[in-house]
Structure 1
Amino acid sequence: MTDLNQAKIVLLGDANSGKTSIVQRYINKSYNDHSSPTIGSTYLTKIVDFDKKSIKLCIWDTAGQERYYSLAQNYAREAQVCVLVYDITSKDSFYNLDRWYNSIKDYLAENAIIAIVGNKHDLINKEAVPIEEVKNFAQIIGALYMRTSAKSGIGIEDMFIEICREFTGNPSIRKMSTYRFTNSVKLEPVKTQVIKKKKRCCK
């Protein structure tokens, strides 16, 4: 019998960025165009087998409304994975990731995996933020960068596979940015080529 590892995953980001839809697509293989806003948080779990290990994904889907902003630190406490979600058609939802990240970075588990996820890839013709700007932010905070569409399902499985790969400590070329957990990050439109991230050690 394989050991069961647990990974606490917290999803953060503005309301209407698609956090709940991403989780529902992954857990229940469903999508609701008229889902209600999350109040406080929703907790879901899924056990997956990856690289000869069983992992229990403990997923906290948090509310993105302003009035719940102060609760983000509680949900992020000791999380091993933090997923920052933005709507690719909304500049504000991307620029607000700076605020989300800097408010919770000191509460995450040591060497936590950070992922920036651009959701609503099905609306790529309405994309509002240059890709290079997003990659620059990801590089600064040592984050993975991924694209998803909860509506079509594109990228959802790949997103969680990559999270599991990082969590189990598989080799990675990514290295931790020196800015991480030390500086408050302000977004700057600087071109970059590579997203770097530190390899996570096996637990």
Structure 2
Amino acid sequence: MELPKVIQIKVVGDACTGKTSLIERYVTGNYNEALKATVGADFHNKTVRMDGSEYQVQVWDIAGSYRSHQNITVQFFRKSHAVMVCCNASQDNYIDHVKEWRDMVTDFAGEDVPCVLVMTQIDRYTPARNWQDDFKGFVPFDGFFQTSAKDDVGVAETFRELIRMAFDYLGSRRMTTPYNRGSSSVPFEESVRLDSFRQSQKKSCCKK
């Protein structure tokens, strides 16, 4: 069985954690403080090359509003090949919310799908600290990253690592062997953005 030509990355997390800004920074290289909140779901495509073949990476931006959080269903996570859970330490009860999102990924995407935790907007915190310590012992993730879409810190590295995990995951499915969680080493090249899709309208929100 060949790898699918479309690799689906799902980005989830509470509202106003900067998911859209993170995706825009990765896909277009730009940062826009005036971005509006996602309602429903959007996706952006980016081309990557692996082993001489081109693949579309489809990065889904899923609304983090309270209503969407409660009513999110299996179709949003269908065919997920990797998932990114975003969080912001300035929000109340963010650790509990991270656990809820992680449980949702397990329930709807599957427990074997690679899932990483991403701390966003670290430019707001001086000095920086290691938030990873807040999640030790109770939230299982395959990686932890700290990012700033505004300052372009850690964004490309985070997506590249998650895409490598997705390729490893798909490769393990192709070989009918369990996904081996850990460091990934699949090389690939990024190309230009192909297009973007809007499945929803936008509404104003806080700055990302």
Do they fold alike, i.e. is TM over 0.5?
Answer: yes
Who is 1:10 aligned against?
Answer: 10
Contact 1:44 1:60 in 2 (8 A): yes
Counterpart of 2:47, as a letter, is: I
5+ residue gaps, structure 1, are: 171-195
Partner of 1:89: 90
Q: Is the 8 A contact 1:9 1:81 kept in 2?
A: yes
* Matching of residue 164 in structure 1 with residue 163 in structure 2: yes
SS at match of 1:83: strand
Amino acid at match of 1:197: R
Gaps in structure 2 of 5+ consecutive residues: 170-179, 187-208
- Aligned mates of 1:110, 1:145 — CA distance in 2: 17
Distance 1:197 1:100 in 2: 20
Partner Cα distance (1:52, 1:92) in 2: 45
Counterpart of 1:120 in structure 2: which amino acid?
Q
Identity of aligned residues (%): 22
Tell me the residue number matched to 1:117.
Answer: 118
- Shift of residue 65 of structure 1? 0.6
Name the SS of the counterpart of 1:56 in structure 2: strand
Q: Corresponding residue for 1:37?
A: 37
Query: Looking at both structures, which has the greater relative contact order when contacts are Cα pairs under 8 Å and sequence separation is at least 6?
Result: 2
State whether residues 31 and 149 of structure 2, in contact with CA within 8 Å, keep that contact through their aligned partners in structure 1.
yes
User: Aligned equivalents of 1:62 and 1:42: distance in 2?
Assistant: 7
CA 1:89/1:126 → structure 2, altered by over 3 Å: closer, same or farther?
farther
TM-score of the aligned structures, taking structure 2 as reference length: 0.71
Cα distance change on mapping 1:154 and 1:129 into 2, 3 Å: closer
User: Aligned runs of 1:29-178 on 2, under 5 Å?
Assistant: 29-50=29-50, 52-69=52-69, 70-109=71-110, 111-125=112-126, 130-137=131-138, 140-169=139-168
The number of aligned residues is: 172
Does the 8 Å contact 1:25/1:153 carry over to 2? yes
Contact 2:41 / 2:61 at 8 angstroms: preserved in 1? yes
RMSD, aligned α-carbons: 2.8
Tell me the TM-score normalised to structure 1 length: 0.73
Q: Which amino acid aligns with 2:154?
A: G
